[in-house]
Amino acid sequence: MFGAPGLNAQKKDFHVIHTFHIASAGEWDYLAIGPGNNRLYVSHGTQVNVLDKSTGDSIGVIENTTGVHGIAFDKANNKGFTSNGRLNNVTVFDLETNKVLTQIATGENPDAILYETYSKKIVTCNGRSKDLSVIDPVSYKVVATIPVGGKPETAVSNGMGKLFVNIEDKNEIAVIDMKTFTVSAHWPIGPGEEPTGLVLDKKTNRLFAGCGNKFLIVVNAETGAVTASLPIGDGCDGVGFDSDTKNVFTSNGEGTMSVFHEKSADKVEPVATVTTKRGARTITVDGQTHLIYLPTADFEQQANPGQGRPKMIPGTFQVLVFGQ
């Protein structure tokens, strides 16, 4: 009799397998695994670093993406898209050559970005204008702007016409009808506050929202009901999901990763609290290799540790690669 793949998470510890060092300067946010091209795309200040996801070797750079937050892909059209928060636009690039093709104006401070498979559109979550920009990846036109009533942080699609968006300053998830490009519901997620990362298990119809008040909130994606609230580390800004192992990961900026196993739609169990590094607050999971990538850096020592975010030591930007 064979055990479920997720049970392996309880037998082997997650540990650092590689550290990819990136010498260039700048802050960071999201990172993303490319679609079938063995590449890792890392947002980094004014550019996106493109790495070989296996070795960490540099493949290229996508420049002039000032304040870049995220990266999304339209594999059918061989294009990538970056959300440039300080430029209020999206950069379009060729997935093979990394050549920049154009830039598209969006709402204010585009943050998270995704390719929405039902509508076949690119969607940006615009933090300052509190709306979504819906972009046609072929014509490069914004075809809809959707006000969401608060600051949209991260979005995830069910692929069947519904888009779920964390509204960070309203402690809720907004549901978007991608047929009409309108908000169809607002779901409160108490006790969760300041939701950031968001993933969806399409098989069980469960959303997992990482929250600033140290909870992972599990939500029924059909009804909006909160089905579980689980404690996590401090400073979560990302959630990852491995659909094969049914493991859920929260990247906590305090320097930990909280790991859970989804045994069923209504049973999610804590597996481990893994030590990462301070600042490792965003995450992506490779569904093929089951490796986990978290960007961070080394920081200066603070005389008074409680006084704000410490300064990054120049030249220490890195991506931690975790596996079992």
pLDDT given for residue 11 in this prediction? 53
pLDDT given for residue 306 in this prediction? 66
Q: C-alpha distances in angstroms, 252 versus 235, 244, 321?
A: 5, 23, 15
- Kindly report the backbone phi and psi dihedral angles of residue 23, in degrees, each rounded to the nearest multiple of 5, phi listed first: -75, -25
pLDDT given for residue 12 in this prediction? 76
Taking only the tens place, the pLDDT of each residue in 204-237 is 999 999 999 999 999 999 999 999 999 999 999 9
Name the amino acid, one letter, at 59.
I
CA distance 297 to 98: 25
Q: What is the pTM of this model?
A: 0.95
User: Where in the chain are the domains?
Assistant: 5-300+316-323
Which residues are paired to 33 by β-bridges?
40
Q: Which CATH fold topology does 5-300+316-323 show?
A: Methylamine Dehydrogenase; Chain H (2.130.10)
10-residue mean pLDDT profile of the chain (324 residues): values are 41 90 90 97 96 97 96 98 98 97 98 98 98 98 98 98 98 98 98 98 98 98 98 98 98 98 97 97 98 96 75 93 97
